Amino acid sequence: MNFRYDALPMRVVFGAGSLSRLPDEVGAIGLERILVLCGPRQEAVGKQVAEALGDRCVGVLPEARMHVPVEVAGRARAVAAELAADGCVAVGGGSAIGLGKAVALEHGLPVVAVPTTYAGSEMTPVWGLTEDGVKRTGRDRKVLPVSVVYDPALTLSMPVGLAVTSGVNALAHAAEGLYAPDGSPIVALMAREGIRALTAALPAIVAGPEDAQARADALYGAWLCGAVLGATTMGLHHRLCHTLGGTLNLPHAETHTVVLPHVLAYNGGAVARELDGRSLWALEGELGAPRSLRELGMDAADIDRVADLVAGATFPNPRPVTRSDVRDLLHAAWAGTPPPG
Ligand SMILES: NC(=O)c1ccc[n+]([C@@H]2O[C@H](COP(=O)([O-])OP(=O)(O)OC[C@H]3O[C@@H](n4cnc5c(N)ncnc54)[C@H](O)[C@@H]3O)[C@@H](O)[C@H]2O)c1
């Protein structure tokens, strides 16, 4: 056995109703002037968070958008400076947390994350900013949230379709963490437990969207998968999804959902014991998830362009990747044909 394990600092409060512990949490960190960040569709939750924070909240900015456009980041940074904020609470999915990270990147303000999807950004030091349709990403420890409050009650409002696709997005982190070159036994434990929790919880959520235990189990799994994402370097799957999202603006969680079974089948034995492509594809069918890039709006004419970009990029993967492999994989994912068993 040969590995290196470089743990990221992690402070987590988990449990239904834990939003009520947010004031103590920010108090423990020493924050007094907090700007709450959220997306426009989650303004009500943003206000709920502001209320929970009481006098410690100096404003709510409900302007987070997918992939953190630079103009939105600029506005959040200006508002934070104007209000003399000493920290941000980002409540929402990866888009809201990404906005918090953009403020942290420029001003060094600590971010407390209150995730409401399973995307996992709250567990990583990775930031992203989009300008003129091009997304830049980077790693910086100062954008890693100083504390994460996971309240499954806030995920009950997540539509079942988003719960499923966001859950598969989380599974993708765990799957690629299992074969990452910088994986380790502790990361593998988190990945396997995350996969176990999510694959059990997602069918229960589809069967009963109000099932609070299933929602809690899924969020627990998502936390572990996010921690795997933060600890390892992702492979072919994340490279494909990043390229599809960046160049064609395909929706994030749905794209992960369509692509993952095909990459797992391609990488074969590397993760077959935990999650194999054909079984995941069948599970997605039972859960009513999208299974073709065509239904996400991708044009077949774009397959070659994406294949060129992915084949020309450098990323670790357990199986070598050629342009024609990527092309074949993308074609199957576009058409929605089952991956090889
Ligand atoms: N930096 C990282 O490490 C990292 C990791 C994962 C994702 N991301 C980024 O995050 C973004 C995707 O995040 P996402 O998939 O969470 O999507 P998102 O944050 O864009 O949310 C999708 C939609 O769901 C709504 N929503 C979120 N939670 C809800 C809830 N509980 N109830 C009802 N509606 C809810 C949001 O308002 C939004 O309209 C992408 O830009 C991706 O690149 C970054």
Write down the pLDDT at residue 20. 96
| pLDDT for res 75 | 98
Q: How far is the C-alpha of 58 from the C-alpha of 32, rounded, in Å? A: 9
Tell me what pLDDT residue 224 has.
98
What gap in Å lies between CA 36 and CA 46, rounded to an integer?
A: 6
Residue 244, in any domain of the structure: yes
3 found inside a domain: no
Which of these three, 155, 189, 209, is where a domain ends? 155
d(CA 143, CA 139) in angstroms, rounded, equals: 8
Contact 37, 91 (CB under 8 A): yes
Ligand 1, residues 252, 255, 256: which to mutate, most atoms within 8 A of Cβ? 252
Q: What is the dihedral of CA 251, 168, 231, 94, to 10 degrees?
A: 40
Cα angle for residues 173, 177, 181 (degrees, 5° grid)? 145
Domain count for the chain? 2
Q: Which residues contact 77 (CB under 8 A, 6 or more apart)?
A: 102, 103, 106, 107
Nearest to 120 by CA among 98, 87, 88: 98
pLDDT given at position 132: 86
Statement to judge: residues 176 and 110 lie in one domain:
no
In terms of domains, do 139 and 180 share one?
no
> Hey, which residues does 114 pair with through a beta bridge?
91
Cβ neighbours of residue 186 under 8 Å, at least 6 residues apart? 5
Note whether 39 and 73 are same-domain residues: yes
Nearest atom in ligand 1 to the alpha carbon of residue 169 is: 15
CATH number at residue 237: 1.20.1090.10
Neighbour order of strands in the sheet with 147-150 = 12-14, 147-150, 111-115, 87-92, 34-37, 57-61
> In this predicted structure, what is the pLDDT of residue 273?
84
The pLDDT tens digits for 34-74 are 999 999 999 999 999 999 999 999 999 999 999 999 999 99
Task: Give the tens place of pLDDT for each residue, 160-212.
Answer: 999 999 999 999 999 999 999 999 999 999 999 999 999 999 999 999 999 99
Its pTM surpasses 0.85: yes
Structural domain of residue 177, as residue ranges? 160-335
The answer to whether residue 1 is domain-embedded is no
The CATH number linked to 86 is 3.40.50.1970
Ligand 1, pocket residues at CB < 6 Å: 39, 41-42, 66-67, 92-96, 98, 116-117, 119-121, 124, 126, 128, 154-155, 157-158, 162, 166, 252-253
Query: Are 33 and 73 contained in the same domain?
Result: yes
The pLDDT, as a whole number, for residue 274 is 86
Q: Please list the ranges in the chain whose pLDDT falls under 70.
A: none
